[in-house]
Amino acid sequence: MAYDMRDDLEDIYFTEQQLADKVAELGARITEDYRDKNPLIVSVLKGSYVFMADLTRAIDAPCNVDFMVVSSYGVGTKTSGEVQIIKDISQPIDGRDLLIVEDILDSGVTLHYLMQVLKARGANSIRLCTLLSKPARRKVEVKVDYLGFEIPDAFVVGYGLDYAERYRNLPYIGILKPSVYGGA
């Protein structure tokens, strides 16, 4: 039998329909809040690429889009430590209203750092939209303005989220079987 990615999943956590409903709800709120602001919507790659594509199409107001790539901090790096910007926003953000789009807020270290860097560049406002949040894992506090779902401390994949660079193209979000991690 051919390999099927779905066999690696223990369970589906959020279906395509649940995700679509949530994206529509967030898009409507963002449309209201940013109607006359022409926001710059910034996706933090790679995990947020699917969410970004769906969310921006659910926003019924003028906006610009851009993308950043930041390195994940390595094991043993201090939690307050530097996060490296691998690819930066390709336009000035001075005076702009920024909306940062993330896939999942975990420790918060990456986002905390990123928000500080962008604030220092003179943006008029910066808000954060994250599809998922794991509050139990937080190491630094990060204010979330638009939240999709809170989830417990489980490792999820799909809808842009990966494990070892796989499963990003699953159209829903699932939990991996422990055996995929080399566990039980």
Contact 158, 171 (CB under 8 A): yes
Contact 83, 91 (CB under 8 A): no
**Smallest distance, Å, CB 44 to ligand IMP?**
7
Distance separating alpha carbons of residues 38 and 49, to the nearest angstrom = 21
Cβ proximity to ligand IMP, 61 vs 175, nearer residue: 175
Indicate which of ligand IMP, Mg ion, none lies near residue 181 (CB less than 5 to 8 Å, by partner kind): none
**Smallest distance, Å, CB 146 to ligand IMP?**
16
Query: What count of other Cβ atoms lies within 10 Å of the Cβ of residue 75?
Result: 5
User: Which one from 54, 97, 103, 106 is the annotated catalytic residue?
Assistant: 106
Span interacting with ligand IMP, options 6-14, 51-59, 86-94, 108-116, rule CB under 6 A: 108-116
Looking at residue 152, its amino acid is: P
19 near ligand IMP (CB under 6 A): no
Could you confirm whether 106 is annotated as catalytic?
yes
Backbone angles phi, psi at 130, to 5 degrees: -125, 135
155 near ligand IMP (CB under 6 A): yes
